[in-house]
Amino acid sequence: MSGRDGFPRRVAMLSVHTSPLHQPGTGDAGGMNVYVVELARRLAARGIEVEIFTRAASADLPPSVVLAPGVLVRHVAAGPYESLAKENLLAQLRVFAHAVTRTRSGQRPGPYDLIHSHYWLSGHVGRLTAARWGVPLVHAMHTMAKVKNAHLAHGDTPEPAARVRGETRVVRAADRLIANTAEEADDLVLHYAADPARVAVVHPGVDLDRFSPGAGRAAARARLGLPRDALIPLFVGRVQPLKAPDVLLRAVALLLERRPGLRERIVVPVVGGPSGSGLAEPEGLQKLAARLGISDVVLFRPPVRQERLADWYRAASVLVMPSHSESFGLVAVEAQACGTPVVASRVGGLPVAVRDGVSGMLVRGHDPQDYARALEAFADDPERSARMGGAAVRHAGNFGWETAAAATAEVYAAALPRTHRRKALDASAGVCLG
């Protein structure tokens, strides 16, 4: 059943609550969507076919869409179309799992050699489907309720106990768990009692062709209509309390209090759309900017495609990521790949994504004063951005998707032998779905 050299031939990838076809940077679409698309494309290029199952969020979607050679997206009908919030998906997961198992082609096990699920809701479907097909389950958490709840921002709603229970069951069922960083691997062991032998660390990647310094900062500023000599601290990502764009705005206000002369030459773009609720939504942020007296320097922009996003990164003096929690932080690596240093909070994957003092600066906590000081360092020393930017490009070079896909394929290969044990167990226990 497995392909060449013990690698799977066909993988069923599960991304239940958000589609790889959605625009990242708003709502439920973010780094995980990018991760699934980029990983699937690179696995396909290595000869591993991938079919991605996602919930049909509208009635007019075709049953399947070819995303790239060797990568198919399958739309699964489960629950009402547009109006189903992520929080209410749990009740639809068995329906989703049944629909996935129906794609099998008569022979046992199903047409796939392995299941790779993303986020706990997909993990739940993966658990049911893997037991049904007798194939291994590889799971990536992306975010964990226990970790998120330990780092809640003001205005954030805690993750419910049902999610923690669900995550725990998925961790127990998975043959292999893929963690973004060693810290995430430790969290899996510490908070979810994962077996360390089944946890593999694979750093996510960045598309180094799409995200590169290109023709440089001045050209990008000209294309975006931004002033040539301004200090440009940039925020990119979903506008939600967890990402703390409000901390950036407060830091800018403090900086301008200390250095009023900067007002004429600072622009603060916020690129991304609303996600969830709370003060950090664009409307809330706009009100905050007005209250802080900095509306004239903040530019709110809706999410853009990555090709365009690369120009925003190139144009910026520094990317600012004051997140309360971040399982990795793809935008930090993307900005560095474009030659832009990063000021980020010292949380989650960011200490891996950013080389403190070399490709950017890590800040402990979320005190706007600390971020204002970091921005001041860039204002005082205009060469700092270019200097750190060179190191940033080199650091980002460590995170190609090809490397991530090769490491993931190894995890798959390591998971495959368990299939035979699982099949034998399932046969004797008469495990069935539903």
Q: Judged by CB under 6 A, how many residues of this single chain contact ligand UDP? A: 20
Residues 6+ apart with CB under 8 A from 205: 38, 39, 42, 399, 400, 401, 402, 403, 404, 405
Q: Does 330 bind ligand UDP (CB under 6 A)?
A: yes
Q: Site for ligand UDP (CB under 6 A): which residue of 25, 134, 205, 274? A: 25
One of 13, 231, 279, 309 touching ligand UDP (CB under 6 A): 309
User: Is there a contact between 94 and 434 (Cβ–Cβ < 8 Å)?
Assistant: yes
Q: Which stretch binds ligand UDP (CB under 6 A): 88-96, 132-140, 170-178, 304-312?
A: 304-312
Q: Does 134 bind ligand UDP (CB under 6 A)?
A: no
Residue 348 found at the interface with ligand UDP (CB under 6 A): no
The contact mask relative to ligand UDP for 172-211 (x = CB under 6 A, - = no) is: ----------------------------------------
How far apart are the C-alpha atoms of 83 and 168, rounded to whole Å? 28
Least distance in angstroms from the C-beta of 180 to ligand UDP: 9
24 cis-preceded (ω within 30 degrees of 0): no
What does the block give as tokens for 364? 């402990």
Binding mask 275-294 for ligand UDP (x = CB under 6 A): --------------------
Nearer to ligand UDP, 120 or 328 (CB): 328
Tell me which stretch binds ligand UDP (CB under 6 A): 40-48, 233-241, 279-287, 417-425. Answer: 233-241
- Residue number, 311 or 370, with CB nearest to ligand UDP: 311
**Which of 233, 272, 341, 360: binder of ligand UDP (CB under 6 A)?**
272
Residue 314 labelled as part of a binding site: yes
The β-bridge partners of 344 are 321, 362
Give min distance, CB of 279 to ligand UDP, in A.
18
- Judged by beta carbon, residue 28 or residue 49, the one nearer ligand UDP is 28
By CB under 6 A, residue 16 contacts ligand UDP: no
- Nearest C-alpha neighbor of 291 from the set 235, 253, 238: 253
304 is in an annotated binding site: yes
Region binding ligand UDP by CB under 6 A among candidate stretches 44-52, 108-116, 218-226, 303-311: 303-311
Does residue number 30 form part of the binding site for ligand UDP (CB under 6 A)? Answer: yes
Q: Which residues are annotated as a binding site?
A: 17, 23-24, 28-33, 86, 119, 143, 163, 238, 243, 304, 313-314, 316, 326, 334, 340
Binding site for ligand UDP (CB under 6 A): 24-25, 30-32, 34, 236-238, 271-272, 303-304, 306, 309, 328-331, 334
